[in-house]
Amino acid sequence: QVQLVQSGAEVKKPGASVKVSCKASGYTFTSYGISWVRQAPGQGLEWMGWISAYNGNTNYAQKLQGRVTMTTDTSTSTAYMELRSLRSDDTAVYYCAREYYRAPLDYWGQGTLVTVSS
């Protein structure tokens, strides 16, 4: 069965970086992409960006350009999302989700809470 398992909760200080992992299993990792979505406390879903696990191509939400980097390690079927220069409004639950060209996000990770606080 398809599973996406994310790394554990993080607490970071403003200005620091965080790297969240998402380990995939149950499907051919390189046949799909991974989207990252975040949700601030009490707020809606915000699409952050996408990475192709096939060739590493990426596309990021404009508001995060320059601060976010998404990568994959095909040897371990793991995707990573790194966010730099953290601010308090980056406090959110971060989700990874499996995606395919113009297809919906059909499997999601369990979410990783990132708290940014001094």
- SS3 call for 31: helix
Contacts of 64-69 with CB under 8 Å at 24 or more apart are none
Q: Is residue 8 a contact point for another protein (CB under 8 A)?
A: no
Give the binding range for another protein (CB under 8 A) out of 8-16, 20-28, 76-84, 92-100: 92-100
Do the beta carbons of residue 91 and residue 41 sit within 8 Å? yes
Q: Which is nearer to another protein, 41 or 75 (CB)?
A: 41
* Residue 44 touches another protein, criterion: CB under 8 A: yes
Decide whether 16 or 103 has the Cβ nearer to another protein: 103
Contact status: 103 vs another protein (CB under 8 A):
yes
Using the rule CB under 8 A, which residue among 27, 50, 68, 115 binds another protein?
50
88 makes contact with another protein (CB under 8 A): no
Q: Is 91 in the site for another protein (CB under 8 A)?
A: no
Write the DSSP assignment of 41-109 as a string of letters. Answer: TT---EEEEEEETTT--EEE-GGGTTTEEEEEETTTTEEEEEE-S--GGG-EEEEEEEE-TT-----B-
Q: Which of 10, 12, 68, 111 binds another protein (CB under 8 A)?
A: 111
